[in-house]
Every structure is written in structure tokens, then in C-alpha cells.
Amino acid sequence: MAATQFWHTMLRISDPEKTLRFFELLGLKQVDRHDNEEARFTLYFLAVPGNEEAAQIELTHNWDEGDYGKGRNFGHLCFYVDNIYDTCRYLSDAGVIINRPPRDGVMAFVKTPDDISIELVQAEKKALPPQEPWLSMPNVGSW
């Protein structure tokens, strides 16, 4: 039930142009971008050139957010897992609350004892068929 690969750390940003320039100065390059018109956000994925498959930084720009305040910029750690359902069952059986169940067969969120969000993603982002009890489980708390 162990994580198979560390994927990314997410940071919330208020100014994409300035932030992307900062990380470019550090030598990182943008390897992916996703714009979501409906939810009004953009995701930028950055990596060290030549090592794009290793750990990445996800920059999340929520279009309508002006100031996150102290401590809200850090988002979550993300790990690929071999089987999202088996991993969530294992964690749940061990007493971990599944804050965002893997209803889509791809993604779930849990929290550390110190309230740090951890995203779990099905390896290679290949969705498993939806299944119970995950399909019907509500979100719990925040993530």
C-alpha cells in the first residue's frame, strides 16, 4: 500500500507572470498547463529540465483570489499509488479519515496528524472503474 512515486508539491500563487519568472530564474521550466474556465483556475507544472518525470511543483492560480494570507499558499503533497481504492481502504482501516474519497477512481485526499493535505493519485492517472463504497462517500472536512 506504499506510495510509488512522489509527484508534486502545490503552491497557491497570486501573480503567475512574476512567479513563473521566479522559478525560471531558479532553472525550472514549465512542463504542463491546465486552464479551467468553469472553476476559474489555472495549474502550471514546473520541473527541472531533463528530470521532468521526477518531483514537480504545481502552481495554482485561482483567478478570483487576491490574497491567501499567511499559511494558505502551501497546498499539498502528492503521491502516485498503485491502486487508489486499496490504498484508501488500507488508510481508512488504520483510522485515517479520507477527506476526499476517490469517487472518480483517480484522486483522493487525506491529512497528516498536523493537518497537512496529502493528495493520492492513481498511478499514471489511469482511472479505475468507479466502485462503492467510494462512489457514494461524501467529502469530510477540508483538504
Conformational region of residue 78, where left means phi above 0, alpha means psi within -120 to 50, and beta covers everything else: beta
Distance CA 55, CA 7 (A): 5
What is the Cα–Cα distance from 46 to 59, expressed in whole angstroms?
A: 8
- Output 66 or 33, whichever has higher pLDDT: 33
Predicted pLDDT of residue 30: 96
pLDDT band at 143 (very low <50, low <70, confident <90, very high): confident
**Phi and psi at residue 26, to the nearest 5°:** -80, -5
Catalytic residue among 17, 53, 58, 119: 119
**In the structure, what pLDDT confidence band is assigned to residue 140 with cuts at 50, 70 and 90?**
very high
Q: What is the pLDDT of residues 48-99, one digit of tens each?
A: 888 888 888 899 999 988 776 666 667 788 888 889 999 999 889 988 999 9
Query: Looking at the predicted structure, is the pLDDT value of residue 27 above 90?
Result: no
119 catalytically annotated: yes
pLDDT in tens, 109-125: 998 876 778 888 998 77
pLDDT of residue 86: 94
What integer pLDDT is reported at residue 70 of this predicted model?
64
Backbone torsions φ then ψ of 125, nearest 5 degrees? 55, 30
